[in-house]
Amino acid sequence: MKKAVVVFSGGQDSTTCLVQALEQYDEVHAITFDYGQRHKLEIEVAEAVAKKLGVKAHKVMDVGLLNELAISSLTRDDIPVSHELQENGLPNSFVPGRNILFLTLAGIYAYQIGAQAVITGVCETDFSGYPDCRNDFIKAMNSALVQGMDRELDIVTPLMWLDKAETWALADKYDALELVRNETLTCYNGVIGDGCGDCHHVS
């Protein structure tokens, strides 16, 4: 039986990955991380979408320690999301170590349930400059998980080289475009569906 774990935020990209995974795997588990992000609504949307799509299991994990360690506009309500790059060349919405932590925990979960794949919606063509969305990082992280747990595992990134139009076309291929457009939450300012139209958003 082919099993997969989808890192699932409830946003457009991860929902597209989840819809595809449900077609490609016999059993799909979703894992959502509560790190005290800017909008609790993100967790509620993820739960509603996962239930609607009928995943085998949906685990919401408390990783609040990330909020303590990583100061970002996504972890602090008093820091507005800015379009301006910081001195380090990254947007202030970058949460250092977020995908390192998420993929590590998703890898552990995959190990426990015997899943062959961890699927994540990271994308290098639309990544807002986040270093932990690049293909080189994913390959390195995949290698570390395989070596560290001594078990074969693939980190699958269906959207890595797609632009937004191609991602939406992929959702449409699985008859999920309306769901992705209207019922997900990608917007950093907490607007479901099309979002506020202002903030950078990667999900």
8 is in an annotated binding site: yes
**Tokens describing residue 51:** 């239930």
User: What is the number of residues in the chain?
Assistant: 203
Say if residue 86 carries a ligand binding annotation.
no
- Give residue 120's pLDDT: 98
State the amino acid at position 121 in one-letter form.
G
Known binding residue 89? Answer is no
pLDDT confidence of residue 23: 97
Q: Is 32 labeled as ligand-binding?
A: no
Residue 66 is predicted with a pLDDT of 79
Confidence (pLDDT) at 129: 74
Nearest-5° Cα angle at 151, 150 to 157: 120
pLDDT at site 194? 60
Residue 114 assigned to a binding site? no
Is 128 assigned a ligand-binding role in the annotation? no
User: Angle, to 10 degrees, between the axis of helix 41-53 and the axis of helix 12-24?
Assistant: 20
pLDDT on residue 178: 95
* pLDDT at res. 201: 46
Q: Specify burial of residue 86 (Cβ count, 10 A radius: 0-12, 13-18, 19+).
A: exposed
Note if the pTM is more than 0.85: yes
Q: What backbone phi and psi angles, to 5 degrees, belong to 124? A: -80, -20
Residue 17 marked in a binding site: yes
- Is 196 annotated as belonging to a binding site? no
pLDDT of residue 203: 43
* Cα dihedral across residues 152, 7, 105, 29: positive or negative: negative
Annotated ligand binding at 11? The verdict is: yes
Per-residue pLDDT of the chain (203 residues; tens, 9 = 90+): 999 999 999 999 999 999 999 999 999 999 999 987 756 788 999 999 999 999 999 999 998 887 777 655 555 555 556 565 666 656 656 777 889 999 999 999 999 999 999 999 999 887 567 889 999 999 999 999 999 999 999 999 999 999 989 999 999 999 999 999 999 987 655 567 665 555 554 44
C-alpha distance from residue 136 to each of 82, 139, 140, 142 (Å): 26, 5, 6, 10
